[in-house]
Amino acid sequence: MHALPPGVDPAELARIALTVAVEAGRLVVDERPAGLGVAETKSSATDIVTVMDQRSQDHLLARLGELRPQDGFAGEERGARASESGITWVVDPIDGTVNYLYEIPAYAVSVAAVVGDPGVDGAWQPVAGAVVNPVTGERYTAWLGGGSWRSVGDEEPRRLHVTETSLGQALCGTGFGYDADRRAWQAAVLTHVLPRVRDIRRLGSAALDLCRVAEGSLDVYYERGLNPWDVAAGWLVATEAGAVVSDLHGQAPRAELTLAGAPVLHTSLGTALERAIEQVGPENVR
């Protein structure tokens, strides 16, 4: 457990996270060009960084700099700031970029305040966060010790709680990487997991997947290859709703694996994944 800096109110950080996430969400929807341009490519031609992705992050960097000028900033795109306060904001300006490009309404702005170093596995944890789907109006917020909350538009937030069921009755979310070898490995693991759960969903946004575990519209979720900005806010939303969020060994979630679910389900799926990985063998990613 990483300590909060003295005098920091995580509930206030959550309010700030929600405010700036809603603003960035409006930007990416309202100012989305009809012929969306591509700024650059990432790890492969499939993973596209759009102009709006960078604009959203630039907005978050500027606004958080106004509201919390001593805090650090780390995001998926260009732009970073070192922390002088012990708090760093970890953001994904559009989580679910491919959905955004295809106008599939399952993408989000994710904003989290964390303590520790988000660049080092296991050396940080979120203390407040918000995930906003700007198309559906869904807003998820959480802060350390304050629970997880969901609202749509201006409705009153309702508190979230994970659901517990058997693994065979569990709806399981997952995702796939952009590298072809990684996708092949993930598909091979999935063939061992699929017969052991109710069904699989692949929504295309890790932040929303973790929030859906929190609200019970997914029972469990796992994915390999996630970065801190993919999980920071959703990790806290799920945890404050009663989920266990970890890697395969019970430590903090990391690129090797992120696994989330109610406690018994988390254990059951973890066991199934361990067996699946043993049978498939090690991943071979360039």
pLDDT class for 44, splitting at 50, 70, 90? very low
The answer on pLDDT for 286 being more than 50 is no
d(CA 139, CA 22): 8
Q: Which of 159, 185, 205 is the last residue of a domain?
A: 159
Burial string for 226-248 (b: 16+ CB within 10 Å, else e) reads bebbbbbbbbbbbbbbbbbbbbb
pLDDT tens-digit profile of 271-282?
999 999 999 998
* Residues 3-20 pLDDT 10s: 899 999 999 999 999 999
* Cα–Cα dist 215/51, whole Å: 32
Q: Phi then psi for 22, rounded to 5 degrees? A: -65, -45
Do 271 and 180 lie in one domain? The reply is: yes
pLDDT of the residue at 220? 98
Q: Are 133 and 237 contained in the same domain?
A: no
Got the DSSP string for 196-234?
GSSEEE--S-HHHHHHHHHHTSSSEEEESS--HHHHHHH
Residue 182, pLDDT > 80, answer yes
Domain that holds residue 132: 10-159
User: How many domains does the structure of the chain reveal?
Assistant: 2
Separation of alpha carbons 65 and 34, rounded Å: 30
Structural tokens at position 173:
């979310």
Q: Give the domain-ending residue among 130, 159, 188.
A: 159
Sheet holding 108-116, edge to edge: 80-81, 72-75, 87-95, 108-116, 124-132, 138-143, 147-152, 158-159
* pLDDT band at residue 37 using 50, 70 and 90 as cut-offs: low
| pLDDT tens, position by position, 216-271 | 999 999 999 999 999 999 999 999 999 999 999 999 999 999 999 999 999 999 99
Give the whole-number percent of the chain exceeding pLDDT 70.
93
Q: Do residue 52 and residue 151 come from a single domain?
A: yes
State residue 46's pLDDT score: 41
SS3 label, residue 253: coil
Instruction: Tell me: do 126 and 200 sit in the same domain.
Output: no
Domain boundary among 159, 183, 201: 159
Q: Provide the 3-class DSSP secondary structure of residue 132.
A: strand
Residue 286 lies in a domain: no
Q: Mapping DSSP to helix (H, G, I), strand (E, B) and coil, where does residue 83 land?
A: coil
Q: Mean pLDDT over residues 60-67, rounded?
A: 98
In the predicted model, what is the mean pLDDT of residues 207-216? 98
Length of the chain equals: 286
Rounded mean pLDDT, 132-150: 98
Q: Could you tell me the pTM of the whole model?
A: 0.94
pLDDT tens-place string over residues 91-125:
999 999 989 988 899 999 999 999 999 999 999 99
Q: Is residue 4 part of a domain?
A: no
pLDDT of residue 1: 65
Q: Which residue has the higher pLDDT, 94 or 76?
A: 94
Q: Which of 268, 279, 150, 262 is nearest to 208 (CA)?
A: 150
